[in-house]
Amino acid sequence: MLFMTRLEEALASLRRPDMRDLKETLSAVGCTPRQAEPHVAQPDRLPYGRTVLFRNTEVEAILVHLPARTGTFIHDHGDSLGCAIVVEGELINTVFRTDGRGDAIYASEERVRSGQCLSAPAGLIHRMRNPGAGRTVSLHLYAPPLTGTKTYAEADEYVLDYVI
Ligand SMILES: [Fe+2]
């Protein structure tokens, strides 16, 4: 079956999916670099390309293209939870927490390679970046569809109690 048909059929049957449902759907659908290729968008207003492959009231699927050495803004996903699989290349997923002023403070980092998944539980603040010389393509599912996402500034690394 064609990739897009498989994706649409799998997603259309989901009702209020949780993280496990999303991950099972991602692995059941699968996506090879060749299947992703016709849908890979070049960056336009954002530093990366994004293509909405499917969207209904329950779930949204987005193909993300991070060109070499680019990254997303630090962001959350509003009230949505999400997961993603790296289809081509690899990415660094950096997780942040917020300080008292709502700025983002580094919490942890993981490298996600081709074929591996990353989870974005509701409330997660993160940034994905492609550290490599080739492109990175990843397939993301969000439930419910993305709305009200926020971006964050990175807090100064050193907060001083005294300036003199
Ligand atoms: Fe994200």
Cα(44) to ligand 1 centroid in Å equals 18
Confidence at residue 100, expressed as pLDDT on a 0 to 100 scale: 84
pTM of the model: 0.93
What span, in angstroms and rounded, lies between the C-alpha atoms of 104 and 94? 11
- What is the model's pLDDT at position 127? 97
For residue 125, the CA-to-ligand 1 centroid distance in Å is 8
Q: What is the pLDDT of residue 156?
A: 72
Q: What is the mean pLDDT of each run of 10 residues along the chain (164 residues)?
A: 94 98 96 97 95 98 98 96 98 95 95 97 96 97 96 77 62
Question: What is the reported pLDDT for 160?
Answer: 57
Distance CA 33, CA 136 (A): 10
Span from the CA of 160 to the centroid of ligand 1 (angstroms): 31
How would you class 133 by CB atoms within 10 Å of its CB: exposed for 0-12, middle for 13-18, buried for 19 or more?
Answer: exposed
DSSP-based three-state secondary structure for 30: coil
Tokens of 37: 């290729």
Q: How far is the CA of 126 from the centre of ligand 1 (A)?
A: 6
Strand partners, 90: 113
DSSP conformation class of 37: G
Q: What pLDDT, in 10s, does the model give residues 113-143?
A: 999 999 999 999 999 999 999 999 999 999 9
For the chain, list the domains and their CATH numbers. 3-147 (2.60.120.10)
What pLDDT, on the 0 to 100 scale, is given for residue 157? 63
